[in-house]
């Protein structure tokens, strides 16, 4: 990247919403990634950023969110600019890990204009990201949004933005940040592939975490560790992960098979999915995968 421009409105991070990486398999050549500049958002970007986010994400963010990310120093809100236009965006924040432990599940509704004001924070499942001993003084980075313009996807812009965040959080001043995590829809395969390629690992399954257009959508939490951070170590950890992935596979596999048989089976698939989800939630709780 050529440079990162700082100004009085731009600075490092801080707050929570829905996270989704928006990229697909379409490839439109870019003349050179070296021609892309990174800079922090400023208030004059509000209209352009709002238009882009409405195209990229399934959530209709309230105006207050755009005002915050383009002017508040609470956020690490970085834009990738090409030919004077914003073609990519990453928004993240830093929070004390102890705050994550206290917060409750955030079921966001697209039609709820008040959700940004009343949103508590992260699902309780996220409290197992770090060991309790490390979590007393540790901080975590949370990626709220990461998106790239359709005309410039698969050119490394998403990686460029993520690298900038990683570089920012691995400085000596940010050594207290031990993990970076995010939430994404379970159906967002492009985002899942992108983050797994960047060494993020699946941490937890969030049933009905999202409420999009009146329908409950499942989510995943993905996490990567930095600055000496690591997940909680227990003797049952490998078994927990095996049970967890087994659960996710069966929830999706059986429900999708029934859905494709059509008609009455759509309703039956929904019932089965509820039952399987309930069963595995109890199973995972038993093995302390979900507390």
Radius of gyration of the chain (CA): 19
Burial 59-84 (b: 16+ CB within 10 A, else e): bbbbeebbebbbbbebbbbbbbbbee
Burial label, 28 (beta-carbon count in 10 A; 0-12, 13-18, 19+): exposed
Helix, strand, coil share of the chain (percent; to 5): 40, 25, 35
CA atoms within 13 A on the CB side of 279: 12
Say which of 149, 152, 183, 203 is annotated catalytic. Answer: 183
Active site residue 195: no
Tell me which residue of 60, 76, 105, 59 sits closest to 11, measured CA to CA.
76
d(C-alpha 91, C-alpha 16), whole Å: 10
Q: For residue 145, what are its two tokens?
A: 């949004």
Q: How far is CA 87 from CA 38, 54, 141, 291, in A?
A: 10, 14, 23, 40
∠ at Cα 48 (43, 51), nearest 5°? 130
**CB under 8 Å to 116, separation ≥6 — which residues?**
17, 61, 62, 64, 65
Active site residue 183: yes
Say which of 115, 142, 209, 210 is annotated catalytic. Answer: 142
As annotated, the active-site residues are 142, 183
């Amino acid at each position: 990247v050529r440079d990162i421009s700082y100004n009085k409105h731009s600075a490092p991070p801080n707050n929570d919403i829905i996270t989704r990486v928006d990229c697909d398999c379409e490839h439109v050549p870019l003349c050179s990634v070296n021609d892309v500049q990174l800079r922090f958002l400023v208030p004059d970007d509000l209209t352009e950023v709002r238009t882009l986010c409405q195209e990229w994400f399934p959530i209709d963010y309230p105006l207050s969110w755009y005002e915050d990310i383009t002017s508040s120093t609470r956020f690490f809100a970085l834009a990738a600019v090409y030919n004077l236009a914003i073609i990519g965006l990453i928004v993240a924040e830093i929070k004390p890990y102890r705050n994550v432990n206290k917060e409750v599940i955030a079921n966001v509704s697209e039609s709820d204009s008040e959700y940004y004001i009343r949103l508590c924070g992260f699902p309780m499942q996220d409290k197992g990201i770090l060991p309790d001993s490390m979590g007393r003084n540790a901080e975590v980075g949370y990626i709220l949004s990461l998106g790239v313009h359709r005309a410039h996807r698969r050119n490394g812009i998403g990686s460029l933005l993520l690298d900038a965040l990683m570089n920012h959080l691995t400085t000596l001043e940010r050594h207290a940040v031990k993990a970076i995590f995010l939430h994404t829809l379970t159906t967002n395969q492009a985002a899942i592939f992108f983050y797994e390629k960047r060494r993020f690992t699946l941490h937890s399954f969030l049933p009905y975490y999202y409420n999009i257009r009146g329908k409950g959508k499942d989510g995943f939490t993905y996490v990567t560790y930095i600055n000496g951070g690591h997940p909680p170590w227990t003797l049952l950890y490998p078994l927990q992960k095996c049970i967890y992935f087994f659960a996710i596979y069966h929830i999706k596999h059986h429900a999708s098979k029934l859905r494709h048989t059509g008609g009455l089976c759509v309703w039956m698939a929904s019932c089965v999915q509820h039952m399987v989800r309930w069963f595995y939630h109890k199973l995972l709780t038993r093995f302390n995968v979900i507390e």
